[in-house]
Amino acid sequence: MKITAKDWLLSLHFLPLECGMLIAVLVFCMAPNYAVWSLMFFISGLLCTFAMFNILPLAPLKSGGTHHVGIRHITREIAVYYPTFIKPIEGEPWLPGNDSHYIQTMAAGARVRSLWLGHLKLVRIPCTRNASIVSLMTHDGGPRKVFIFSHTLATHHLAYSRLALALAASGALVYSVLHADGIDVSFERSSLGSSVGEEEEEFPCERGLTQEGMLMQLEKRIEDVVGVIEGIFRGEMLRQLQVGPVELQSFLSSGAKVNLIGHGFGALTMLAVAVKATAILSFINSIVAFDAWPLSLLDRTVGDPISMPSHIKVQLFDSEEWSERRVYAVRVEELKGLFASSGVSCLRTTCGGTDHMSVMDMGLLLPLTKRRRFASKKSSKLIPMLATEVLRCTEGS
């Protein structure tokens, strides 16, 4: 769905200006002697519009780095960000297909009215669709880093574009996977019945999901991620980037591996992939998990004692909000112990002054959803810093 003039005219950004102009014209037509009042109404509407552009920014996403960024939608469910030499002009819609259902879902997750998210239709990602990709091999002859991203519930795969842009601008490929539960979860909450037990106290934003329902979602997510990994190393998802056969063969024979990144339920997904999908473990280099939850499902989906190959590096990033949740803190320390006992390098870092949404674009696009306690840590500074840390986690492979 394309952005129409109606979307702009009905956006919260331009409504104050339109109202100011309408009132100004009416006042001038009814009482020409009060032209000063007409001018004041117009100026008031103009100032309110400027204020809305600050409250609800439309262009907060930046790439930075040494490359421009291209994006290609391999399928409806898979988008890949990659480095290119082509400078973006129009950009790419941040909302997949400008589908309003995503707005309703994210509004329910953020606990705000969908009216406050209507401007997301107007947000553009500073990248070029289907741009030509740079070489898959770096100047020193090594393969470019490859990341696969799994989003949390009640959002979509483009909702972490600031992080993906930073990684792609540094020269990496970032495959972002849209899971089927991303748009449906808000409706499932009201129909799945009982809560997830003691995790409900820990994760009040995601109440109403049964463990059985979440296990089904987790299994489907694992299939999604494994399918992407297999597609990359079969060459299918690289050929769709218009990579030549010689370059493709050089990349596949270079010993390249993928790095998994997840947030919330997506972080749990990536951990589950590394402990359950044994056929593709040799292709995984590292896992970065942001606020992984609910960790109790990891035991149930694996069945056996949790373990993974020692060559995989694990980095757990917790927001300050998440780290203060007692049940989560206990479980994550238990998980660290299990990994350490099997020889896996597992580090845990707490990002002070942050909440669960700080790693998402929502912290940039909708500052009003940021609770006052965590508003001091700006996502515009935090996310590039996290991208640097993510890149550092992949070193030493």
Confidence of residue 196 (pLDDT cuts 50, 70, 90): very low
Q: What is the mean pLDDT of residues 324-351?
A: 88
With CA atoms as reference, report the closest residue to 131 among 1, 236, 242: 242
Question: How far apart, in Å, do the first and last CA atoms of the chain sit?
Answer: 42
- pLDDT, position 2: 60
- What is the torsion angle, in degrees rounded to the nearest 10, for the CA atoms of residue 18, residue 22, residue 28 and residue 34? -70
Q: What is the mean pLDDT of residues 89-99?
A: 84
Give pLDDT tens digits for 19-73.
888 888 888 788 877 778 888 888 888 888 888 777 777 767 888 888 999 999 9
Contact 370, 56 (CB under 8 A): no
Give pLDDT tens digits for 102-151.
887 777 766 677 777 778 888 889 999 999 999 999 999 899 999 999 99
Q: How far is CA 274 from CA 18, 277, 346, 365, in A?
A: 54, 6, 13, 32
Residues linked to residue 84 through DSSP beta bridges, in sequence order: 68
Q: What are phi and psi of 170, to 5 degrees?
A: -85, -5
- Encoding tokens for residue 71? 């994006």
Please give the radius of gyration of the chain, using alpha carbons only, rounded to the nearest integer.
Answer: 23
Contact 123, 61 (CB under 8 A): yes
Token look-up 């997301």 returns: 120
Residues linked to residue 147 through DSSP beta bridges, in sequence order: 174, 259
- Encoding tokens for residue 173? 């490929």
Q: Bigger pLDDT: 292 or 304?
A: 292
Q: Return d(Cα 260, Cα 314) in angstroms, integer.
A: 9
With CA atoms as reference, report the closest residue to 130 among 242, 247, 248: 242
Residues linked to residue 149 through DSSP beta bridges, in sequence order: 176, 261
